[in-house]
Amino acid sequence: MSELFGTLSDGTPVHRWTLERAGVRVGVLSYGGIVQSVEVPDREGRSADVVLGFADLDGYLEHPGPYFGALIGRYANRIAGGRFELDGRTYVLASNNAPNSLHGGENGFDKRVWDVEPVEHGVRLSRVSPHGEEGFPGRLEISATYTLDGSGALRIAYEAVTDAPTIVNLTNHSYFNLAGSGNAGGHELRIAASRFTPVDADLIPTGVEDVTDTRFDFRQARGTGAGYDHNFVLDKGITPAPVEVAELYDPASGRVLTVATTEPGLQLYTADHLGEPFGPGGGVALETQHFPDSPNQPRFPSTELRPGGVYRSETVYGFGARS
């Protein structure tokens, strides 16, 4: 079902679509493709909202920087210096995370109103990003389909086509707090990644390193703690269908989140700098993606999309509880 969630200053209405199946209830906004809420039961059967979000549109408009629950594009994560070269031409982007471009620029996909249509067990969001939007080349036609499967898992499937060579890297930026409130620092995390991409002072990758004997080794579940805004190189690489790569567990409530994806990378962000109303460590972001700054780092998996090709990416968030 859908309902009016708010109205932008130019009069554009924003709607919330509610998906419900197998005891899971999800709210999705036409503004920013935002996952506004995910209500799931704990080990005692008590439901709580496990993603950070707001009860009204004003909350998102007043706090755009953390990208709460948003669909991120055209390029998730950072591009060094706000520029990249493609086919011998240099493209200059907004340096909205100086000196870098972050999450698609000043007015990325997270700040756009999407067309929404119902599909079986979910909704399909779509829009056209015109050539030159935020400095990116090519007219890009994008869709993101949000559905709940029979187990109550939230599946997000992205597709895009272009009329000119461009780059694409899409993700969802939900912050998970499986306790439903408070600090998420006590959650336990497992990531199927033997390598990660260390970063410089501007959070741009400097290469690929092994996680062994470092604080980046989450191959066995352990507390998330703080101090992470890093991309993990998933052992499975790029896959045609989603493969489970991570598990987040809250011992207090018993809630479990599993993440399966087709993507080669997973950005772990422990939200150390998150401001009001949630505060530092209020949630954990697990962003499935290609690697940061891939357009400027030829050794990384390519994010180029060309006419005649189709960008496809799929991530599944599964929910459960342990006794």
Question: Among the options 103, 134, 173, 247, which is catalytic?
Answer: 173
The reply to whether 287 belongs to the active site is: yes
Nearest to 189 by CA among 220, 213, 216: 220
The reply to whether 159 belongs to the active site is: no
Q: Is 95 exposed, middle or buried (0-12, 13-18, 19+ CB in 10 A)?
A: middle
Instruction: Evaluate the CA torsion angle 158, 163, 169, 174 in order and state its sign.
Output: negative
What are the φ and ψ backbone dihedral angles of 81, each rounded to 5 degrees?
Answer: 70, 5
Question: Among the options 133, 134, 263, 287, which is catalytic?
Answer: 287
Instruction: Evaluate the CA torsion angle 301, 303, 304, 307 in order and state its sign.
Output: positive
Nearest to 77 by CA among 317, 270, 267: 267
Could you tell me how far CA 265 lies from the centroid of its own chain? 11
Measured distance CA(165)–CA(186) in Å, rounded = 44
Is 230 within 8 Å of 208 (Cβ atoms)?
A: no
93 contacts: CB under 8 Å, gap ≥ 6: 79, 82, 83, 84, 101, 105, 134, 135, 136
Q: Which residues are catalytic?
A: 173, 287
